[in-house]
Amino acid sequence: MTITDYFTTVTQIKAYIRGIDASADITSFAPVYRPAAKKFVNLVGQKTYDLLAEHIETPPTPAVEELDAAVEYSRAALANLMAIPWFDFDSGSRNATDKKLYRYQEDKIIEAYLENAWAELDQLISYIEADIAKAAADESPTPYETPFEDFAESELYTQRNGFYIKSAAEFNKLYNINSSSYFYYNVADIMREVENENIKPRFKEASDDTDMLWLVKKAIAFETMSIACQRLDYTELPKGIRNDIIKEIGASVNRNELGSVKGNLATMLHNKALEYFGKIDLSLQSSASEDAPVVPDAEVNSEDNKYYLTL
């Protein structure tokens, strides 16, 4: 993966972020491109990354509108992801001029880049999902074929059908993640882990009881958020969580305190998950009691009877 896969000039990067010197050489962005591209590939997969890179290198005629739109979202996301480390690296030269900023001002700029990157990634995934759904629903004699077939067949996309929480929108109803598809896919492995370790051992078969399903989903959502706070970097958490962390620390994000604040938040979320797991267990115990066999009175097996009831 090289920066020229998606950008051939700095002007193309500058179209999505401000504060970049257009006279800089495109190769100077290579170090910050690689981690941004890695995040991108973790989300969409290598095949989709290559598909869009090929579309940029050799635009088809006639144009493919779906790929054009995906490229636009992808470039915007990658540019903003690159801007975060670039802004940090550039602080030395910036502070030596009259462009010097206070730390809280820098934090706000970085947060803006981060929010923009998330927004573009969310729009990209929503666009791809909508196009896949369009292809699946088209029953005309010449059905529409999505160009994102590789994403549709990826484990990241297909595994959610087996989850209790099947989409970012559904997760958002249980815990506010700003309906972020990027975050939903980012914690897919954590959700699977929570289900395997905490839900499946409690059920011999999936419950179809509405109230029980709600408890299960709430427990999964809160436990997933708890583990995410422990394992994921601050920048990989939803805006609501990031805001809570910033409020806890103060006006300026002191990164030395992020670990402890994230840990405290993870504990709070885990405790809430335990409340839901407790309610699940209580409900299961209640159901088991209702289904238990009725124990007959001792007199049923009296010697005066001509038969004995065996249990």
Residue 304 has pLDDT above 70, yes or no: no
More confident residue, 287 or 55: 55
More confident residue, 109 or 168: 168
Q: Do residue 42 and residue 176 come from a single domain?
A: no
Tens-digit pLDDT profile for residues 231-257: 998 889 998 888 887 777 664 455 566
Residue 300 covered by a domain: no
**Are 88 and 114 a contacting pair, CB within 8 Å?**
no
Residue 115 covered by a domain: yes
Distances (CA, A) of 89 to 4, 84, 231: 21, 9, 25
Residue 308 covered by a domain: no
Residue 201 has pLDDT above 90, yes or no: yes
Residue 259 has pLDDT above 80, yes or no: no
Task: Enter the DSSP assignment of 24.
Answer: S
Q: Do residue 229 and residue 119 come from a single domain?
A: no
Residue 244: what pLDDT?
A: 80
CA distance 147 to 150: 8
Q: Do residue 140 and residue 168 come from a single domain?
A: no
Task: Enter the DSSP assignment of 98.
Answer: T
CA 244-186-172 angle, to 5 degrees, is: 55
Residue 224 covered by a domain: yes
CA distance 225 to 190: 9
pLDDT band at 227 (very low <50, low <70, confident <90, very high): very high
Q: Is 215 exposed, middle or buried (0-12, 13-18, 19+ CB in 10 A)?
A: buried
Q: Do residue 178 and residue 231 come from a single domain?
A: yes
CA distance 41 to 253: 29
Tens-digit pLDDT profile for residues 182-193: 999 999 999 999
Domain that holds residue 198: 162-288
pTM of the model: 0.84
